Chain A
Amino acid sequence: MRGGEGASRAPVLQLTNCRILRGRRLLREDLWVREGRILDPEKLFFEERLLADQRRDCGGCILAPGFIDVQINGGFGVDFSQATEDVGSGVALVAQRILSHGVTSFCPTLVTSPPEVYHKVLPQIPVKSGGPHGAGVLGVHLEGPFISREKRGAHPEAYLRSFEANAFHDVLATYGSLDNVRIVTLAPELGRSREVIRALTARGICVSLGHSVADLQVAEEAVQSGATFITHLFNAMLPFHHRDPGIVGLLTSDRLPPGRHIFYGMISDGIHTNPAALRIAHRAHPQEEPLGPSGGVPEPGCPHTPSSVPGGPYPPPPQSLPSLLSRHQDPVRQHSSDGRVHPAFPAGHRLQCGVSPGGCVAAPRPATGTGEAQGHPGLRG
């Protein structure tokens, strides 16, 4: 049944028998889409006077915005920090394989490396739209080398650097071009970090604090200079202390610029952090969005194998967020302990009208057995 328009009008697709994430709740609602944009069906009914042209039964699945993985070092045998001639293939492979884990966009992450590696690798990882072929590349996440020696974790000490001498020029000299860079993790206690943070944010690059021994005041100053993210909260930073909460204290700091949101990633594999710690972080500031890197630990075959990383052995991969999710009753609800759900990402995407979903995922109903998350890359906006 149509309104008065001709057959050239774009078809309206109605996804039925599904649960969608809206207003921080899972609702039993149909999702209406036309030309890759989510529609307000009430408006469609009363103003355009149209019904759906096609209907698709989603079998009770959850339709959620695809996960955005902002910290993933590789996977499936690929290590993004390895300077090969064909980094692009590795990125494409990972992009394709993470789709079934519900990730529809990601930031390939490079750990601390010598300048030659950055100069060779970065130009080979352009920003790329996702689709059925693979998750979209939002830009590279450069985790290091401007980080704390003490908190370097698994990063190679030899390649740590400082920008005390020439601030932003040191940054450019180290990385080469910043064209494909989306996030930089640095330690704000390093000299001239505030200048560097301002210069990076002026170029639209997200600055994240991590691998650092900064106290709360230094962290607050970094945020005032433009930092908006915390890399794997709790790990590779000073632990929370009641007289100086350190970087963790940013979650409840009252010295942040008004209206500024702090986002944080967490490695929620149950090994890097205790779930109780994650819940404390979430309850401290429920509006702030926690994100989980999907690649918790590198696989054998990557340079950072269990044998080469101090403190090993590590559990078999992928002890990652998506596979954790697949083992739980209600994958999306697992983001939050109090039963509320957050579409977990800082880019502001929501399943709201007028927005291109930018990749949506159908998460299956809880199955009786465990197994891999079987998402379907559903829509492409």
Chain B
Amino acid sequence: MAAPLTLLLLVAVTVRAALFRSSLSELISERVEVVSPLTAWKRVIEGLALLDLGVSPYSGDVFHETPLTIYLFHFLVDYAEVTFMVSVAGSSVFSDYLFRKQKFALEADRYPLDCLELIRSPKEMYYIPLKVAMFYLLNPFTILSCVAKSTCGLNNAIIALFILSTIKGNVLLSAIFLSLATYQSIYPLTLSALLTSVPLSCLINLCVTQWICVFLFWWFIVQYAFMYLGSLFVIICLSFFLLGSWDYLPSVYGFILSVPDLTPNIGLFWYFFAEMFEHFRLFFLCVFQINVFFYTIPLSIKLKEHPVFLIFMQLAVISIFKSYPTVGDISLYMAFLPVWSHLHRFLRNIFLVSCVLLACSALFPVLWHLWIYAGSANSNFYYAITLLFNVAQILLVSDYFYAFLRREHHLTYGLYLKRKDGSEATLVLK
């Protein structure tokens, strides 16, 4: 296991190093699909320069990173490339460890016999971590975002660490990383919905009576919330003391939530808010932002016994609906896809969706060229592709969701459904 992983890391690092040295890296770091106003390296440099001059980095309207990031890069600026490589490699290795721990138990006796082919053999399980690492490291999206030195790589690493510590059951670390992720960009907050499902499934065996169970559950929640809020408080105060002002709050979180920068990107916000009349702006801002958080509730109710799938869904929802998405965010949830390789037989639109995703990825630069350089197309062309790209992502995620639920259904009712009269039945989603 270690050997292929090392090889993979070597390949991934070589590719990135080669791209860093080539003339392409400059081109890539200018692409709007790869860097957003939040994560652009150019802006980090600007912030660092301001910091060195003794000016608050948030005094201009350019820099929107959190204070901790800028202090991190303050020390590491000469090794930026290395940092990004380490963060990417790190997050992949973590994700690698992560799935070793996973216990999709072979509780075959709980399920009807003909479902055996639905349950993954240990051999398949064995390769999943490697596949996850491969999907993350060799995903062109990750490579692009790493070569562009987008700080998205750091955020991904933190989220991966959070997932790792959560699955390992380390409550304190999990809370700390979650607060770090929340601190970096608000959206990972929705990942905390995970907690309602984790302890329930863990505690269910321990409980003797109902109310003890409930009590233990709430006790755990309170504990976790305390740790989470505590560490968030510490981090925020630390930022305050580092900079000596609260400037960063509006400049980072206000920027994320109120979406003042309408530079085109692969998300859904820019076009709507560029077209909208000013007096509707606040209302639709609320609608769009609530949209990101809203899915947490139904998803965590439906998936309360499947925390890892819940994480996957949440990450996907965040990366589709967040205000400044980049391809780096997409690569994070795409790294989960090999984990669900057992769902492939239930996927319905995977061919269509992957074709659309592929075509859209190629069309982004083409339409950008036509719009910005040739001047012959306009923003509608580019937005059409953005829209299509996001629809394809939504279809992909909902397809996986459907497949997951369907597998669950088959696990309980048997793979080959019979009608009452004995003929073969088909499941229809209506």
Q: Do A and B bind each other?
A: no
A interface with B by C-beta (< 8 Å): none
